[in-house]
């Protein structure tokens, strides 16, 4: 087998996206068992993936139990180690902040992900969209733990993906870098401290939140500070997001769904002050994903009413959607509700063909999902702010589309903004993964 | 046909008609001669172009072996002071973060691959890079390279310290597969690397000797923990890197971000430095190949002249019919042009083939003398096409001009009546021009040598003198021919002898021309004979005096300047502990910047020399010069002293890794190791200045009574990574390297002689053609075919003998210029002039024999043609 490092990273990314795809039972179970139990520092006002302890929760829980008995079964206790020897995320582990934001070096896979919309201060319309992702892949199990001070370490592998969309100039900058742990890639353990090629990210000293510098081509640079407007959400039952029936297929999945952003964009001699809204994911796991996925469509939506929606559709090789595809609603307080594949639809409305790769992406999509509480069908139509937001990696393969969109309701009114990721349109991921 | 018909626009029509009816008819009839002629032009152009392409390819990549994998870098980051190392990378991480460029740390060294019996079979270049981050490099991606990790996770390949990737061609040649072990020595230690994969495929064109490994692996293999050789900057945008404005903007941005103590250097600047280092070498090659083309031009002249002779009767007839002489002149020139064009085209192709053959020869020479290099793919550039075409055509036209003039001036009446009128080369009968040229050559010796890029000096005066003397001798060679023939008349009374000698004593223009061409080649060859012989003799003497130790130790597999890693200090310490050892004299070297180009800073432990007599060939013994105040006392080589003008003392500022340092010579020794010069300082000073710790070799002086070869054998077993030789073995090794560096010269000499003999053959054919009536008369008088052939052979031998005498005389002068002027000015070393008398005699005998055979062949050809008619 020939192993391409880039493909390897993409495989991990698939794995992590898939990690949200958990059986209904675990989602319902978490509502009952973990509601409101997280606490610590201000940033650690963690919401464990569920909603309020209301009747609807109990109903949902009972419904969940029924489905769980018929599909995934009851709680599966994860092992301490994977078959390869990596530690498995343990249940009932409250994320301690700021350590939770740092690297979990012993675990096989980890990633940090930010997307957001920015407007120039003083203007009313959004001008920029940005994406910034750091992937970490542990080396051999058992030796990847302690931080390696060598300039050319062999304990950890990292990859960065950054993108910047300028809606006015219709310009999209992006780049990919792969590094080993060493002089070009250092990731702190006790708190968020990422120094990886074009991405630097750290904990703010004076208040909860993160600082980041992202470097793009031609000397363009984003310098941002992001402060959470809502507590961090930890998805999954007993703090574990389950991926499948394999007992080890669990992750810690932590998200800041709404971060208020201020900062500046430096371009040549010009410095433009900006502000906006961002989303951050951080996930840790040690398991691998199966190979029956063709790709996935994923979105994080900021609605103007102060709530957020996360939705994804896992596309299988046979053309169908994985049953664990889901839509999540996060309310003003950070509580979540969700429905799964049979409760929502995801349709491509308009396609765009990339002149660079020739790939065709359904960049305008319409998501229709029945809200589990209101019972109403919510319509979210995602329209890209610009078409050319295709991310092409270093070696030209593994291209995907990840771009800023505006969100419209059924009547065509703009009700929010979103980031949309469309992956696996280059002939299927399974071939690349295997 | 009348004169008016041959004027104006109509003249071109007539020219075309004549070209078709006369020239091309002759081409068809004498196809072999013309084919030979085209071949001669092709050989001339091919030799020049081939050498040019080969030397360009051989020294093109300046030793940056990683370029094959990473693509060519745009800048280098350097430390202002101190040696750039791994520790600097953390400081530079911020600079590396910009996506518009990539920083690439590189460490290189050499390996000598061993076979099962432990013999060194192949020299390999080991290149260490960060095997993860090279995946980001546009050059790596553009080439479609991948590391081909087979059967494992990424950390199975990055972590271990014994894995390497080889090129497709090495895998094929050495029969190495994934997982196979490469046993080698480096730094004096025997080690093994495992083949983790093959880079590229048969089409990728990576150098065969390239071995790539993770940077920490290379550090471990070379015993250079924490070290890197350089930090390259490669721009992400490979298209815009060709834009000087963009490059400048990137330079500004990087310089703004560079921390204090670091500086940026453009790759082109470094390339220019390297190009400067080999400038003299390449120029010398060019001049040698130009001589080949000059000899070729002489042949064209001779062959075209022969063609004119053959058609003389026709031309006379045409003139009688009213064809204007100018038109004949034009047709002859047109013919030269055609020969030039066709021959040049063939020459460009031939040159390409020659370059393919010579490039590794030249790469070996560059490796041995200058720096590590690997032969690049031979490419034909537009410039190669232009230079080849212009050179071949121009020389053809130049050579065709005299015969064309001859054709134009031929008076019909005289030709038709006499048959062998020949005004074309009357200037060959006038010795004044030749004498003037000889005098001009003497004057040229006073022309000062201009300084070239890289600091080497171009011996312009020496080359001018050589050129003037060669041509002067060529012009005067006719006098030698006639003089010798007159002397020989009395030696035998036999008719054949008398006939041959009387024809030679007559000294027709054509005979003189044949001698002149051969003289050029003989002069060139004998001159080079002397230089190479003198060089060899001097080196042998140098060895006798300088190398008095019993045993010599160096890193195994090192064959030249470009492949030195240095001996591991631990191994040096172990050697030092050998009980049979009286003392050890180790040599440490490092290339440093000098006011003009680079030079060599050497370190030896002066304390070892104390109370011991150090054998050297001293130009100025230690102590004869006083060190300048504030400067470090140094013993310098003659080359260094001449290059930096400190023969009588003074000081030179050297740019070392730790900043500028001043040295001042206290003694000057003869040294033939390199043309950049060496300054030797005390070892502690050298270590302090360079930050290095590795000796490149060491001499072992043994206690009295120690059996040298027994100890040598024992040490060889103890230190399998070292080459341990006694004095005799070292001498034969050094002579072997020396001979290798002159292989190209020998090849060019060979081309010159072959071309000259071909010219002699053509010249004799022309002579026989021109003397047809004489031979026919003799035939009628009963002169047998055998005697005719014998006379022809003797004529050829006589021409060869005269050429050998005149050529050897001028060769002696050339040898002196090469040794006493060109070598001293170009390389700064004094050689002992030695004339290889036996070699001269052998060469003369061979030449006369070849001349005799050429005469026989041309006589036989003439006879054959006559019988055909």
pLDDT at A434: 34
Rounded distance, CA A163 to CA A175, Å?
A: 7
Domain boundaries, chain A: 5-433
Rounded distance, CA B634 to CA B606, Å?
A: 10
Q: Reduce the DSSP state of residue A160 to 3 states and report it.
A: strand
CA-based nearest distance B217→chain A, Å: 10
DSSP codes joined into one string, A344-385: EEEEEEEEEE-TTT--EEEEEEEEEEE-TTT-PEEEEEEEES
pLDDT at A9: 45
pLDDT at A303: 97
Q: Residue A183: which of B89, B98, B253 has the nearest Cβ?
A: B89
pLDDT at A94: 87
Residue spans of chain A under pLDDT 70: 1-74, 144-146, 243-245, 288-292, 395-397, 427-434
Total count of domains within chain B:
4
Cβ of B243 under 8 Å from any chain A Cβ?
Answer: no
Residue spans of chain B under pLDDT 50: 1-8, 60-63, 369-372, 374, 418-421
User: Dihedrals φ, ψ of B37, to 5°?
Assistant: -60, -45
Put simply, the answer to whether B98 touches A195 (Cβ < 8 Å) is: no
Same domain, B353 and B383: yes
Rounded distance, CA A161 to CA A138, Å?
A: 18
Q: Is residue B476 part of a domain?
A: yes
Strands A293-303 and A414-423: antiparallel
CA A327 to mean position of chain CA atoms:
14
Rounded distance, CA A356 to CA A363, Å?
A: 16
Same domain, B87 and B165: yes
Cβ of B257 under 8 Å from any chain A Cβ?
Answer: no
| Residues of chain A with a CB closer than 8 angstroms to some CB in chain B | 1-6, 8, 137, 139-140, 150-152, 154-155, 157, 162, 175-180, 182-184, 186, 195, 197-198, 200, 215-219, 394-396
Strands A360-370 and A344-353: antiparallel
Q: Is residue B728 part of a domain?
A: no
B806-840 residue pLDDT tens: 988 888 998 888 888 887 887 777 778 888 888 88
Same domain, B672 and B534: no
Cβ of B152 under 8 Å from any chain A Cβ?
Answer: yes
Q: Which residues of B touch A152 (CB under 8 A)?
A: 130, 214-216
From the list B710, B707, B706, B712, the residue with the least C-alpha distance to B726 is B712
Put simply, the answer to whether A177 touches B99 (Cβ < 8 Å) is: yes
Q: Is residue B552 part of a domain?
A: no
Same domain, B329 and B398: yes
Identify the H or E element spanning A196. strand A193-196
Rounded distance, CA A344 to CA A310, Å?
A: 12
**For the range B606-611, what are the long-range contacts, defined as Cβ-Cβ under 8 Å and sequence gap of 24 or more?**
B606/B682, B606/B683, B608/B583, B608/B584, B609/B585
Q: Reduce the DSSP state of residue B183 to 3 states and report it.
A: strand
Identify the H or E element spanning B591. strand B581-593
Cβ atoms of B344 and B321 closer than 8 Å: no
- What is the token pair recorded at B696? 């490149």
From the list B494, B592, B530, the residue with the least C-alpha distance to B809 is B530
Put simply, the answer to whether A198 touches B133 (Cβ < 8 Å) is: no
Task: For A198, name the nearest residue in chain B, comparing CA atoms only.
Answer: B97
pLDDT at A417: 97
Cβ atoms of B657 and B614 closer than 8 Å: no
Task: For A144, name the nearest residue in chain B, comparing CA atoms only.
Answer: B155
Q: Where are the beta strands (DSSP E) in A16-168?
A: 47-48, 109-120, 128-138, 152-166
Examine the fold and report which residue of B720, B752, B780 is the final residue of a domain before the chain moves on. B720
DSSP codes joined into one string, B814-862: HHHIIIIIIHHHHH---------HHHHHHHHHHHHHHHHHHHHHHHHHH
Q: Is residue B727 part of a domain?
A: no
Q: Residue B215: which of A1, A140, A152 has the nearest Cβ?
A: A152
Same domain, B580 and B711: yes
CB neighbour class for B746 (10 Å; exposed up to 12, middle 13-18, buried from 19): middle
Cis status, amide bond into A98, omega within 30 of 0:
yes
Q: How crowded is the C-beta side of B372, counted as CA atoms within 13 Å?
A: 22
Q: Is residue B776 part of a domain?
A: yes
B383-437 residue pLDDT tens: 778 878 887 888 778 777 777 777 677 666 655 554 444 555 566 667 888 899 9
Q: Is residue B551 part of a domain?
A: no
Same domain, B387 and B294: yes
Put simply, the answer to whether B132 touches A5 (Cβ < 8 Å) is: yes
Rounded distance, CA B458 to CA A8, Å?
A: 58
Q: Is residue B286 part of a domain?
A: yes
Q: Residue B132: which of A179, A186, A200 has the nearest Cβ?
A: A179
Put simply, the answer to whether B133 touches A219 (Cβ < 8 Å) is: no
Q: Which residues of B touch A198 (CB under 8 A)?
A: 97-99
Put simply, the answer to whether B133 touches A178 (Cβ < 8 Å) is: yes
CA-based nearest distance B129→chain A, Å: 10
Q: Which residues of B touch A395 (CB under 8 A)?
A: 135, 141
Rounded distance, CA B227 to CA B89, Å?
A: 11
- How many CB atoms lie under 10 A from the CB of residue B28? 9
A411-430 residue pLDDT tens: 999 999 999 999 988 865 44
Cβ of B239 under 8 Å from any chain A Cβ?
Answer: no
DSSP codes joined into one string, B268-293: HHHHHHHHHHTHHHHHHHHHHHHHHH
Note down the domain range covering B72: 67-273
CA-based nearest distance A273→chain B, Å: 21
- What is the token pair recorded at B188? 């004096």
User: Dihedrals φ, ψ of B566, to 5°?
Assistant: 95, 155
- What is the token pair recorded at B436? 């003037």
- What is the token pair recorded at B811? 């060769």
Q: Which residues of A touch B71 (CB under 8 A)?
A: none
Q: Residue B154: which of A8, A150, A215 has the nearest Cβ?
A: A8
Q: Residue A217: which of B90, B100, B214 has the nearest Cβ?
A: B100
Cβ atoms of A279 and A299 closer than 8 Å: no
Q: Is residue B725 part of a domain?
A: no
What is the complex's ipTM, to 2 decimals? 0.82
Q: Where are the alpha helices (DSSP H) in B445-508?
A: 460-489, 495-506
Same domain, B771 and B791: yes
Cβ of B135 under 8 Å from any chain A Cβ?
Answer: yes
**How far, CA to CA in Å, does A228 sit from each of A59, A260, A406, B740?**
32, 6, 22, 73
Cβ of B834 under 8 Å from any chain A Cβ?
Answer: no
**Is the domain A5-433 a CATH 2.40.128.130 member?**
no
Put simply, the answer to whether B148 touches A2 (Cβ < 8 Å) is: yes
Q: Residue A139: which of B103, B135, B155 has the nearest Cβ?
A: B155
Rounded distance, CA B272 to CA B269, Å?
A: 5
Q: Residue B132: which of A178, A395, A396 has the nearest Cβ?
A: A178
Same domain, B669 and B604: yes
Examine the fold and report which residue of B698, B720, B742 is the final residue of a domain before the chain moves on. B720
Cβ atoms of A196 and A182 closer than 8 Å: no
Rounded distance, CA B289 to CA B362, Å?
A: 14
Q: Which residues of A touch B86 (CB under 8 A)?
A: 151
Percent of chain A surpassing pLDDT 90: 56
Same domain, B809 and B678: no
Strands B163-167 and B189-199: parallel
Examine the fold and report which residue of B691, B720, B749 is the final residue of a domain before the chain moves on. B720
Task: For A221, name the nearest residue in chain B, comparing CA atoms only.
Answer: B98
CA-based nearest distance B565→chain A, Å: 22
Task: For A396, name the nearest residue in chain B, comparing CA atoms only.
Answer: B141
Same domain, B89 and B232: yes
Same domain, B315 and B389: yes
Same domain, B826 and B844: yes
């Amino acid at each position: 087998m020939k192993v391409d490092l880039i493909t390897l990273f993409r495989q991990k990314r698939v794995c992590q996206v898939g990690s949200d795809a958990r059986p209904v039972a675990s989602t319902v179970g978490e509502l009952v068992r973990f509601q409101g139990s997280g606490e610590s520092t201000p940033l650690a006002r963690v919401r464990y993936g569920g909603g309020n302890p209301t009747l609807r929760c109990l109903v949902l829980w009972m419904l969940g139990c029924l489905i769980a008995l018929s599909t995934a079964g009851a709680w599966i206790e994860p092992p301490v180690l994977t078959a390869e020897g990596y530690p498995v995320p343990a249940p009932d582990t409250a994320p301690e902040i700021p350590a939770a934001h740092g690297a979990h070096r012993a675990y096989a896979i980890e990633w940090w992900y930010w997307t957001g919309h920015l407007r120039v201060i003083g203007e009313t319309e959004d001008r920029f969209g940005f994406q910034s992702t750091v992937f970490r892949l542990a080396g051999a199990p058992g030796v990847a733990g302690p931080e390696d001070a060598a300039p050319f370490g062999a304990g950890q592998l990292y990859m960065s993906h950054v993108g910047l969309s300028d809606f006015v100039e219709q310009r999209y900058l992006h780049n990919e870098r792969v590094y080993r742990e060493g002089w070009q890639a250092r990731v702190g353990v006790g708190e968020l401290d990422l120094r990886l090629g074009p991405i630097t990210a750290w904990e703010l000293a004076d208040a909860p939140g993160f600082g980041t510098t992202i470097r793009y081509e031609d000397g363009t640079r984003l310098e941002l500070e992001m402060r959470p407007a809502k507590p961090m959400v930890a998805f999954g039952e007993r703090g574990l997001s389950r991926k499948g029936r394999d007992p080890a297929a669990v992750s810690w999945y932590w998200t800041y769904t709404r971060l208020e952003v201020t900062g500046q964009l430096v371009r040549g001699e010009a410095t433009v002050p900006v502000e906006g809204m961002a989303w951050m994911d951080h996930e840790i796991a040690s398991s691998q994903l199966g190979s029956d996925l063709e790709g996935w469509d994923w979105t994080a939506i900021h609605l103007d009413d102060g709530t957020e929606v996360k939705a994804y559709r896992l596309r299988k090789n046979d053309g169908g959607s994985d049953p664990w595809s889901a839509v999540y609603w996060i309310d003003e307080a950070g509580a979540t509700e969700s429905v799964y594949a049979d409760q929502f639809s995801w349709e491509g409305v308009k396609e765009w063909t990339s002149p660079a790769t020739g790939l065709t992406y359904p960049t305008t999509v319409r998501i229709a999902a029945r809200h589990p509480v209101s019972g109403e069908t919510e319509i979210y139509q995602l329209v890209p702010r610009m078409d050319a937001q295709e991310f092409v990696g270093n070696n030209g393969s593994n291209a995907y589309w990840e771009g800023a969109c505006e969100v419209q309701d059924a009547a065509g009114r703009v009700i929010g903004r979103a980031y949309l990721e469309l992956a696996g349109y280059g002939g299927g991921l399974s071939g690349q993964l295997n | 046909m009348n004169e008016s018909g041959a004027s104006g626009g109509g003249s071109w029509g007539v020219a075309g008609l004549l070209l078709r009816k006369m020239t091309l008819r002759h081409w068809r009839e004498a196809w072999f001669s013309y084919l030979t002629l085209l071949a001669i032009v092709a050989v001339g152009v091919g030799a020049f172009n081939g050498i040019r392409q080969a030397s360009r390819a051989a020294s093109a990549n300046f030793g940056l072996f990683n370029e094959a994998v990473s693509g060519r870098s745009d800048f280098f980051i350097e430390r202002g002071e101190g040696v750039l190392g791994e520790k600097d990378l953390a400081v530079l991480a911020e600079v590396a973060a910009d996506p518009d460029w990539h920083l690439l740390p590189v460490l290189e060294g050499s390996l000598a691959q061993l076979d099962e019996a432990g013999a060194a079979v192949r020299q390999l270049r080991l290149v260490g890079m960060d095997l993860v981050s090279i995946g980001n490099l546009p050059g790596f991606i553009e080439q479609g390279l991948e590391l081909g990790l087979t059967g494992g996770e990424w950390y199975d390949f990055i972590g271990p310290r014994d894995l390497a990737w080889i090129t497709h061609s090495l895998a094929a040649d050495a029969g190495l597969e994934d997982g196979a072990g490469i046993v080698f020595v480096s730094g004096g230690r025997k080690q093994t690397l495992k083949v983790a994969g093959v880079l590229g495929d048969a089409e990728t064109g990576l150098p065969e000797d390239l071995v790539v490994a993770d940077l920490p692996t290379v550090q471990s293999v070379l015993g250079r923990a924490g070290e890197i050789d350089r930090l390259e900057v490669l721009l992400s945008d490979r298209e815009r890197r060709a834009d000087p404005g963009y490059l400048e903007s990137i330079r500004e941005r990087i310089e703004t971000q560079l921390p204090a103590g670091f500086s940026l250097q453009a790759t082109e600047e470094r390339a220019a430095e390297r190009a400067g280092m080999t400038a003299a070498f390449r120029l010398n090659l060019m001049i040698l190949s130009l001589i080949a083309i000059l000899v070729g031009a002489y042949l064209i002249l001779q062959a075209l002249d022969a063609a004119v002779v053959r058609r003389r009767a026709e031309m006379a007839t045409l003139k009688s019919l009213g064809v204007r002489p100018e038109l004949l002149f034009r047709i002859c020139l047109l013919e030269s042009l055609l020969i030039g064009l066709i021959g040049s085209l063939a020459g460009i192709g031939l040159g390409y083939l020659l370059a393919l053959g010579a490039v590794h020869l030249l790469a070996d020479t560059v490796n041995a003398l200058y720096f590590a290099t690997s032969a690049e793919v031979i490419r034909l550039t537009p410039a190669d096409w232009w230079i080849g075409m212009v050179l071949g055509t121009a020389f053809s036209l130049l050579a065709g001009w005299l015969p064309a003039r001859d054709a134009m001036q031929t008076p019909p009446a005289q030709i038709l009546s006499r048959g062998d009128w020949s005004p074309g080369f009357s200037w060959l009968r006038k010795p004044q021009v030749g004498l003037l040229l000889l005098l001009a050559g003497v004057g040229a010796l006073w022309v000062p040598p201009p300084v070239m890029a890289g600091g080497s000096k171009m011996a312009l005066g020496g080359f001018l003198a050589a050129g003037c003397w060669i041509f002067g001798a060529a012009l005067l060679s006719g006098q030698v021919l006639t003089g010798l023939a007159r002397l020989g008349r009395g030696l035998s009374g036999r008719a054949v002898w008398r006939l041959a000698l009387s024809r030679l004593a007559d000294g027709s223009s054509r005979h003189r021309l044949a001698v002149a061409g051969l003289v050029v080649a003989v002069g060139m060859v004998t001159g080079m004979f002397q230089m190479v012989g003198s060089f060899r003799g001097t080196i042998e003497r140098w060895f006798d005096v300088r190398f008095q130790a019993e045993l010599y130790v160096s890193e195994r597999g090192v064959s030249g300047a470009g492949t030195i890693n240095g001996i591991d200090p631990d191994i040096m310490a172990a050697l030092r502990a050998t009980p049979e050892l009286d003392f050890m004299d180790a040599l440490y070297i490092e290339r440093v910047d000098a006011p003009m180009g680079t030079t060599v800073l050497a370190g030896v432990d002066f304390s070892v020399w104390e109370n011991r007599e150090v054998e050297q060939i001293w130009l100025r013994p230690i102590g004869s010069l006083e060190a300048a105040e504030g400067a470090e006392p140094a013993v310098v080589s003659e080359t260094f002293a001449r290059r930096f003008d400190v023969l009588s003392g003074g000081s030179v500022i050297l740019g070392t890794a730790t900043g500028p340092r001043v040295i001042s010579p206290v003694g000057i020794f003869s040294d033939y190791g390199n043309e950049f010069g060496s300054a030797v300082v005390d070892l502690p000073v050298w270590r302090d200045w360079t930050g290095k710790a590795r000796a490149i070799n060491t001499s072992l002086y043994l206690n009295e009574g120690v059996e040298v070869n027994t100890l040598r054998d024992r040490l060889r077993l103890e230190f399998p990574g070292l080459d341990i030789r006694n004095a005799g073995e070292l001498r034969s090794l050094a002579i072997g390297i020396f001979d290798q560096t002159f292989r190209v010269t020998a090849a060019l000499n060979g081309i010159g002689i072959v071309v000259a003999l071909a010219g002699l053959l053509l010249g004799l054919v022309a002579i026989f053609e021109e003397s047809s009536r004489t031979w026919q008369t003799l035939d009628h008088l009963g002169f047998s075919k055998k005697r005719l052939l014998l006379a022809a052979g003797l004529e050829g031998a006589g021409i060869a003998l005269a050429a050998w005498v005149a050529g050897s005389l001028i060769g002696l002068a050339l040898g002196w210029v090469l040794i006493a002027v060109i070598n001293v000015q170009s390389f700064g070393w004094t050689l002992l002039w030695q004339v290889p008398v036996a070699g001269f005699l052998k060469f003369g005998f061979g030449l006369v024999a070849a001349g005799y055979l050429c005469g026989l062949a041309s006589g036989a050809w003439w006879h054959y043609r006559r019988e055909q008619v």
